[in-house]
Amino acid sequence: MAGVRSGRGSGSSRRRRRVALLTAAVAVSLAAAGCTAGPGTTGPGTEGDGRPPEPAERTPSAVPASGPVLAVKVDNVRDARPQAGLEDADVVYAEPVEAGLSRLMGIYATKLPGSVGPVRSARESDLELLRQFDRPVLAFSGAQSKLLPLIDKAPLRAEPADEDSGAWVREPDRRAPHNLYLRPGELLRKPSGAAALTTGFTYGKAPAGGREESSHTVRYPSARFTFTWSGSRDRWLVSMDGSPARTADGDRLAPATVVVQHVKVRESDFRDFRGSNSPYVESVGSGRAEVLRDGRAYDATWKRGAAEDGTAFTSADGEPLNFARGQVWVVFTGGS
């Protein structure tokens, strides 16, 4: 693809730098944790039965975690479905891309799935969105050549696809470019922990008010998301482009909380090989949002003062609007 670099042939020096960065990150992780809690034991970042804790009521001032979060760019056209590993993400961001289509980004802190994908290319607005995390790992299949210097300068650890690495595999039963998958365990030794999610989200008891809502749809020019409440599962069942969204095992994708975040979407300085402009999602600023949880919809205001800050969601009375414990989907849509 013209103007896109997949990461292949980046050279031994780049691989040595990755190994050095990974070694340093692991050393810092082990030093910070002091020990690793095994199954059925207690220790930093675990519950009494050895499970990772539920996401805490966290704010932008959360305690630093022992390692970086992992962000993976995931394809979301019909030929890419069903995707692998989305059900294990702590947060899934949905963003508009060229030609009115959508793309996803999974954020992993409390669990690393065996496989995530299909993995696709990064966008300029990803760099601003990821500034809220402490030097996250960004896994992606490539980027436009003019964007690569910005990625290199960003405060993150870039992991473009390198097919000489054991972290990346091509699935033979999928057609390119929808067949590239990441093995997260080859990049990170263990999950970073819930404290790494300094997103500004708060979790807890549902706020008063709201309105009953059984289904909510967000439309892009050439894509749409529908979230339908399931009382039996206490989750929102995801449909994309009119079809049920499923895991690789056939289960429904089902977050506990869905945030429809109205943002300014403008043209960027980048275009794809067809000449379509790459939209830029402005995730710093403020605007309105709808928060879906427990079969109800709550009107909210979102605010993110700077790229280094998390995004806070508040109700009409200015109080933090709690999310339900479990996976969160944030769908960016125009019209702030």
Whether 182 and 85 map to the same domain: the answer is: yes
| Contact between 331 and 261 (Cβ < 8 Å) | yes
Whether 187 and 227 map to the same domain: the answer is: no
Token pair listed for 154: 């960003």
- The predicted pLDDT at position 336 comes to 58
Structural domains counted in the chain = 2
User: ∠ CA(150), CA(156), CA(158), 5° rounding?
Assistant: 75
In a domain, 146, yes or no: yes
Token pair listed for 125: 């607005």
Rounded Cα–Cα distance for residues 213 and 224 (Å): 18
pLDDT, tens digit, for every residue of 138-187? 999 988 889 999 999 999 999 999 978 899 999 999 999 999 999 999 99
Q: Which residue has the higher pLDDT, 43 or 213?
A: 213
In a domain, 200, yes or no: no
In a domain, 203, yes or no: no
Rounded Cα–Cα distance for residues 313 and 57 (Å): 13
pLDDT, tens digit, for every residue of 15-56? 344 434 333 433 333 333 333 233 232 232 333 333 333 443
Whether 77 and 188 map to the same domain: the answer is: yes
Whether 179 and 224 map to the same domain: the answer is: no
Rounded Cα–Cα distance for residues 200 and 91 (Å): 12
In a domain, 109, yes or no: yes
Boundaries of domain holding 314: 211-334
Whether 218 and 329 map to the same domain: the answer is: yes
